[in-house]
Amino acid sequence: MKKKYCIAVTGLNAIDSPGPGISVIRGIRDSKDFDCRIIGFAYESLEPGIYMHDIIDKTYQIPYPSSGTDALMERLNYIHATEGLDVIIPNFDAELYSFIKLEPKLKEMGIKVFLPTLEQFEERHKVNLPKFGQKYNIRVPFSREIFSSNEIYGLSKDFTYPLVVKGKYYDAYIAYSAEQAINYFGKISSKWGLPIVIQEFIKGTEYNVIGLGDGKGNTIAAVPMRKQYITDKGKAWGGITIEDKDLLKITDSFLSQTKWRGGFELEMMKSPKNEYFLLEINPRIPAWVYLAVGAGQNIPEAVVKLALGEEVEPFKTYQTGKMFVRYSWDMIVDLDDFQKISTFGEL
């Protein structure tokens, strides 16, 4: 008989800039080695995953990261008492800090997570990327952080336009003039706060690698993908797995040097000279993870097993030329469901 685990997942916002939650859950549900009860963790009452009852068994609202770890812990205590959680898979950059901090307490409660250390999490931060590139000998675009829009006119000393204006957690825009950069500065900082990262614009083709490190320097999974259809928010709406030894080499080097623990995504740009630049490291599983599952590397399942302390054999192969094409779907929802999640914070 297969074991059954109670697994909580965040990132249920399957919207135009999707959270990874639903794809992560699909991977977990595909597992042939264990059964699961899936608990959704939502921040807002209109996150689509809340209403996907065939995918998520029950959803609880949890407090925003800005409420602090005490409020989150209090809520997790309540949920754990009801559900008996085995594993939590957080999928948002902004919440990772809280879950990393709470890992020892969660462990005492019998709840496992498989996350990078705080040092790893901080080190790869967008604002620290130049140092990161230097330390690990990975080519990165020149960048610097700014705290005021007044600094933008002085950027011409170090940058030429276009340049990229980035938020500390999310959002990135290409600015072709100082006026545009100021506009994007306001737009991003009002949503994600300061600092804002100004990055050198690298012309080329964007490639991404999804991966999983075991925390000991080994590559458990790695699948490179080329975005085929990009939304106006820069998100992949279609993509294809590719065979690129250079990208896999960069991924192995990143993992062996940093001993990264957990899922991640490397955002890379290939210049016309065929040089790869690391644009960003997302410290969690990306939303297109189900492509990796479809190509033969079930990363969410492996994360669950690693969190539970099981040995996981590294994936050696994946299918190239596998594609994903995302779609949107209008669910019909009863007011009663919306009322329950809005009033009681659970559904």
Q: Which of 104, 272, 309, 321 binds other proteins (CB under 8 A)?
A: 321
Q: How far is the CB of 242 from other proteins (least distance, A)?
A: 4
Q: Which of 25, 100, 225, 347 binds other proteins (CB under 8 A)?
A: 225
Give helix 69-83 / helix 93-109 axis angle, nearest 10°. Answer: 50
Spatial separation of the C-alpha atoms in residues 219 and 211, rounded to whole Å: 7
CB 317, CB 248: distance < 8 Å: no
Spatial separation of the C-alpha atoms in residues 130 and 138, rounded to whole Å: 9
Tell which residue, 45, 44, 12, has the closest CA to residue 337: 45
Which is closer to other proteins, CB of 67 or CB of 228? 228
Q: How far is the CB of 323 from other proteins (least distance, A)?
A: 9
Q: Which of 37, 226, 235, 340 binds other proteins (CB under 8 A)?
A: 226
Tell which residue, 209, 212, 313, has the closest CA to residue 260: 212
3-state secondary structure of 94: helix
* Cα–Cα distances in angstroms (integers) from residue 287 to residues 113, 157, 309, in the given order: 19, 37, 25
Q: How far is the CB of 204 from other proteins (least distance, A)?
A: 12
Q: Which of 205, 257, 339, 343 binds other proteins (CB under 8 A)?
A: 205
Q: How far is the CB of 239 from other proteins (least distance, A)?
A: 8
Q: How far is the CB of 235 from other proteins (least distance, A)?
A: 17
Q: Binding mask 233-272 vs other proteins (x if CB under 8 A, - otherwise)?
A: ------xxxxxx----------------------------
Which is closer to other proteins, CB of 82 or CB of 205? 205
Spatial separation of the C-alpha atoms in residues 68 and 226, rounded to whole Å: 37
CA 229 remoteness from chain centre: 19
Spatial separation of the C-alpha atoms in residues 299 and 317, rounded to whole Å: 13
Which is closer to other proteins, CB of 42 or CB of 240? 240
AA identity, residue 172:
A
Tell which residue, 305, 248, 300, 281, has the closest CA to residue 9: 300
Can residue 148 be called a binding residue for other proteins (CB under 8 A)? no
Q: How far is the CB of 225 from other proteins (least distance, A)?
A: 8
How many positions of this chain bind other proteins (CB under 8 A)?
13
**E strand or H helix at 78, and its extent?**
helix 69-83
Q: How far is the CB of 277 from other proteins (least distance, A)?
A: 16
Name the one range near other proteins by CB under 8 A: 133-141, 157-165, 224-232, 253-261.
224-232
Interface ranges with other proteins (CB under 8 A): 205, 207, 225-226, 228, 239-244, 320-321
